[in-house]
Amino acid sequence: MNTPATNTPAMNASGTCTAARVPALAESAVITVSGLHKHFTSPTGDVLPVLQDIDLTLHEGEIVALLGKSGSGKSTLLRHIAGLLAPSAGTVRYRGAPVEGPNPGTAMLFQSFALMPWLTVQQNVELGLQARGVPAAERRSRALAAIDMVGLDGFENAYPKELSGGMRQRVGFARALVVEPDVLLMDEPFSALDVLTAQTLRGELLDLLTRRDSPTRTALLVTHSIEEAVQLADRILILGTDPGTLSIELRVDLPRPRNRRTRGFEALIEDAYECLTGERAELPAALGGHDPLRAAAPLPHADVEQLTGLLEELDGRGGAVELPVLADALSYAVDDLMPLVEAAKMLAYARVRAGELRLTTTGSGFASADILTRKHLFAAAVLANVPLIATVRTLLTASDGGRLRESHVTDRLRATCSESTARQQLTIAITWGRYAELFEYDARDGVLTLPCEDHGAGDER
């Protein structure tokens, strides 16, 4: 996907977000990613797909934000553009030339600051220049200019341990910008900072990138914060999961500086939330076969108690609330809220429409029920809507002894996913199933059993 034809996300007939497209302006392209695939191989030989068919163009002078859930491959994509990882298929190009090693036109800014604690601020800033063979005198003058540019003049000889978190990240800015890269790659650079410091640094970084005389005016930002993406970016790209695919693009045509009071700001946040929580695509029939375990949609990593709290909060607000408002009320980031929203949708407790989470009748009944009634309602919901748990319960009931080895389930799940994913899915299913009192689990022996009152006698599968 490249640049869009309109300034708002298109909606298809099913109500899900799509990206409009127009031909890229090749003459302004700095980074071009074409047909990029990436997979890793597990110790057991399983192929683990991470990124699939990624097409992306970064143009001169634009700031692009990359949003996605945990595990979607955001950081992996960033490292391919930096030339730190080689694609399994496809190409990354910098100004038309294939990237076959560290990309000379990029510099990276990390979440963890990544400073050398035994080096001073000036020495840390000089590292990239030293690696490029820049003479000592020029290194010193360029480093001091960069340090002054980020507001750390007077701290040249300080060590990282003497600096606050915000000051350390300023050192990271200086170290990245001193090499005058065409593209600044940022991997959640503000997530380790307190709210006020992060807000200040976002504004300062934006000033540096948008100066007409700045050698670095193009940036790709990986973030989990929708508000941060809308505040900084010209375009927002949303990366799907399992494996990571780029299918959604939002244009941000708002004047800078931006904040929640800027006209259109809240609407864009709602658009992004709606796209992130869009209905899950159906699995190809070829993957499903006749085994409900293989056809089942992946279970979200959602804790039952947190899900209950979400539904209670929604019920207390009249049964419907916009997702950004709910996230603010719960102080949740996207990565924390989205699995709970997906679980609520999967269990038919809630629906998402136009960026608003709305309780269903079933969800309202669950939220207002007492503890014991909730368990019965939850059991009914998972049996009706979660094939993995329903199938485990059926297998247990059909077995003579009411016993089932967990390996029997993971072996069947591995037909469509890696071993680690199969184990993760079974772990979630066990947690939900135990809460619903549909089965019990012996971790020592790796055996699932029916609750005591449902036990029969006989053999274990």
Q: What is the CATH number of the domain that holds 21?
A: 3.40.50.300
Residue 277, pLDDT score: 64
Domain end position, chosen among 354, 369, 384: 384
Residues 308 and 236 placed together within one structural domain of the fold: no
Q: How far is CA 285 from CA 152, 241, 291, 292, 392, in A?
A: 58, 19, 11, 11, 21
pLDDT at 292: 54
Indicate if 404 and 293 belong to the same structural domain: yes
Q: What pLDDT does 334 receive?
A: 67
Residue 180 lies in a domain: no
At 435, list the tokens.
Answer: 């809460």
pLDDT of residue 416: 66
pLDDT at residue 286, rounded to an integer: 31
Given this model, what pLDDT does residue 141 score? 92
Q: Is residue 200 part of a domain?
A: no
Query: What's residue 458's pLDDT?
Result: 41
Whole-Å CA distances, 234 to 188, 274, 344, 394, 396: 17, 19, 32, 51, 54
Q: Are 256 and 264 in contact (CB under 8 A)?
A: no
Same domain, 441 and 402: yes
Domain for residue 114, yes or no? no
Question: Domain ends where: 384, 416, 445?
Answer: 384
Same domain, residue pair 28 and 100: yes
Distance in angstroms (rounded) separating the CA atoms of residues 450 and 320: 37
Expressed as residue numbers, the domain containing 83 is 10-105+216-276
Residues 6+ apart with CB under 8 A from 331: none
Query: Residue 249: its pLDDT value, please?
Result: 86
311 and 294 both lie in a single domain: no
- Tell me how far apart the alpha carbons of residues 233 and 360 are, in angstroms, rounded to a whole number: 35
Say what the pLDDT of residue 288 is.
34
pLDDT of residue 183: 92
Instruction: Tell me, yes or no, whether 306 and 362 share the same domain.
Output: yes
335 and 397: one domain? no
Low-confidence ranges of the chain (pLDDT < 70): 1-27, 277-297, 334-335, 400, 415-417, 453-461
